A and B are shown apart, each in its own frame.
Chain A
Amino acid sequence: MIEQDVAVGAAFQGGGKKITAARLITFSGGPLTDAGWPRKNIHTDTDFAKSTGLPSRCASGTHFQGQMVEFMVDLFGERWFETGSMNVKFVDLVLEDQIVTAHAKVVDKKPDAKKGTRIELEVWSERNDGRKVMTGTAAGVVG
């Protein structure tokens, strides 16, 4: 958890998560109760992905964005659901079986008399080959 006295420059790292075929299909196939599950798309079906020029199935941006939100909730607690914000760009693909890790670094702190202290972060998600796949900023309130 981030505390009010966190230092600007402090860095945090989430756990690495392997985007396996099972997790791709479970995430992007639609509700399990849908007829014809899973939906065929570039995230769930290799042939479909290749038909659009991709080398293999790839993760939806919201898959590792969701992991980043999970990381933010770990850092800010349930208060994130009412005060959090995140602005990100998707800059590279995550292909099947690659591992993604969420990172955050404190870049600013702004006192807010009504809410507490707003902590501003640089955030990014990184593949196991060292390439960043998502970059941006996030902010949440503590105190």
Chain B
Amino acid sequence: MAVKIVENSAMDLKVGDEQAPLVFTVTPELNQQYLYAVEDYHPRYLEKGAWGDPIIHPSILMNMSNRTRSPSFKLPAGWSSIHARDDTEFHSAARVGETITVQWKVVECYERKERPYQALEVRITRPNGELALRRIAHSTVSRQEKAVTGKSS
């Protein structure tokens, strides 16, 4: 089935639309970058052990699967995406050195407190196609009420 990639603003996406997938490889260096960021230096992420080969720290998979990581994600200047809610299922431990694929699909569009929200199904898969994580991530957008231009009007 052909994948519909919507290149306009993220908030124009409708249910069924997909963002462009992201493919990235988690090297030991990338894994260690995130271990530093979250101050978690457990050996399971650094070396072989009872857990098998070193495991990719889950915070990488969470962060690299934010919708803003999609190559097609766009918002107008001055706007930012706000992550509001997240339902995550863990299915398998991805291993350092694996190439990970992230896919995003809009599954719900709604309004709450006069803000537009979107829920995206996020599938994070390993090289053999096995699911590592599945998320339903809800986000909205925000922008500054009065733009800072440095000029008086």
Contact = CB atoms under 8 A, between A and B. Distances in A.
Interface of A: 17, 23, 26-28, 31-33, 41-42, 50-54, 60-63, 65-67, 69-70, 73-74, 78, 80-90
B83 A90 contact: yes
A52 B36 CA distance: 27
A17 B39 CA distance: 8
Given A17-B38, A27-B34, A52 B80 contact: yes
Nearest to A32: B33
B77 to A, nearest CB: 8
A43 B39 CA distance: 17
Given A52-B143, A53-B145, A81-B93, A88 B85 contact: yes
Contacts of B148: 50-51
Given A32-B29, A50-B148, A52-B144, A62 B59 contact: yes
B143 to A, nearest CB: 6
A51 to B, nearest CB: 6
Interface of B: 24, 29-30, 33-34, 36-40, 42, 44, 51, 55, 57-59, 62-63, 66, 68, 78-80, 82-93, 142-145, 148
B24 A63 contact: no
Q: Is the interface of A mostly helix, strand, loop or mixed?
A: helix
B147 to A, nearest CB: 8
28 contacts: A23-B39, A26-B36, A27-B34, A27-B37, A32-B30, A32-B33, A50-B148, A51-B148, A53-B142, A53-B143, A53-B145, A63-B59, A63-B63, A65-B86, A66-B58, A70-B38, A74-B42, A78-B44, A78-B93, A80-B90, A81-B55, A82-B90, A85-B89, A87-B87, A89-B84, A90-B83, A90-B84, A90-B86
Contacts of B86: 61, 65, 86-88, 90
- With a 10 A CB-CB cut-off, give which of A54, A61, A74 has the most chain B CB atoms: A61
- With a 10 A CB-CB cut-off, give which of B29, B30, B84, B90 has the most chain A CB atoms: B90
A80 B59 CA distance: 14
Contact of A85 (B30, B88, B92, B143): B88
